[in-house]
Amino acid sequence: MTQAGTTTPNGSYASVRQYAAGIVGTARVDPLAGVRLLFPALLAGAAFIVLFAQPIALLVRDWWSLPEAGHGLLLAPLAVWLAWKAGIRGDARGNVGLGLGMLALAVVIRYMAGLAAELFTMRASVVLALGGLTVYHFGFRQLLRWWLPFLLIGLSIPLPELVTQALALPLQFKASQLGAALLRTRDIPVLLTGNVIRIPGHELFVTEACSGLRSLTALLSLAVLMGGLMLRLPLVRVLLVALAIPIAIAINGVRVFLTGFLVYFVDPSLGTGFMHMTEGWLLFVVSFVCIAAITWLAAVVERRWTSRGQLVEVADA
């Protein structure tokens, strides 16, 4: 069922455009009914902008200025497009009580986090408020229909600095260990101390920027996106996201190895500047290809598994 006055002739909506067209059509036939339909949505939109303008502005600023948050510039528009493509359920019916509860909780979290100057929680309240608006107008099942767009928006929020610092150091150590091990396979004398790799005549320091945390965040987002678009089974999607972690760590270790190899055998200047950045981008493309290949393979296996299961059911019948 749908809200009164907003149904199409066949009683369902295949897209957001059809839903909007239904409201416009109702307004043309009965202007008063159109006002009753549009006014709550316009009021909710205006209140959302007023209440959450600051965290949204801060989030966009960080997307633009912080390298580790730059993927948000891609994820946020992509999430909007995916929500538009998924459309609105034919049986969409707003849950006013739950929606208002989520909105009230989001407002409380937003202002409490603002008083505590806790940016991550304040930005997360924006996602909760969007979820509340969705539930209020279209119901909880519509929120489930839009799980991928909401998850992508959540992944676009930069992690708190306390979390990034806690994750960066272990990743630095892991990259240093893997890079040193690979250098030893090329008969290069290596002395590893924490995240400092010493080779004859040179000292390589694996900094926080080289920890691989940025590429890990981007790969996790990529795995979530590709899993949501190309895979059907939740377990397979979770496994794909889990595989993104060792892939990111391994690729970063290879980057440390290549840096040491080029510095030792070719030219010390290759360990810094443009070449070092280019090397990082090329290896990120390699990791992207790895995730894409694993997703494709998982999709093939998943389709064959599903088709075999259907054949067994037909044979049993």
Pairing of the two strands 196-199 and 191-193: antiparallel
Residues 137 and 196 in one domain: no
Give φ, ψ of 193 to 5 degrees.
-130, 100
Residues 107 and 192 in one domain: no
Q: How many domains does the chain have?
A: 2
Listed residues 128, 158, 188: the one ending a domain: 158
Q: Give a yes or no: residue 104 inside a domain.
A: yes
The answer on pLDDT for 228 being more than 70 is yes
Q: Give a yes or no: residue 171 inside a domain.
A: yes
Q: Give a yes or no: residue 14 inside a domain.
A: no
Please count the CA atoms within 13 angstroms of the CA of 242 that sit on its side-chain side.
6
For the record, the structure tokens of 183 come out as 């250098």
- Helix, coil or strand: residue 192: strand
Residues 193 and 58 in one domain: no
Range 40-47 average pLDDT: 80
**Domain range holding 228?**
162-316
Write out the DSSP string of 23-75.
HHHHHHH-HHHHHHHHHHHHHHHHHHHHHHHHHHHHHHHHHHH-GGGTTHHHH
Listed residues 134, 158, 182: the one ending a domain: 158
Check: pTM over 0.85? Answer yes or no: no
Q: What is the pLDDT of residue 90?
A: 79
Residues 126 and 242 in one domain: no
What's the pLDDT tens digit per position in 61-79? 999 998 888 889 999 999 9
Q: Give a yes or no: residue 136 inside a domain.
A: yes
In the structure, what pLDDT confidence band is assigned to residue 20 with cuts at 50, 70 and 90?
A: low
Residues 108 and 193 in one domain: no
The answer on pLDDT for 164 being more than 60 is yes
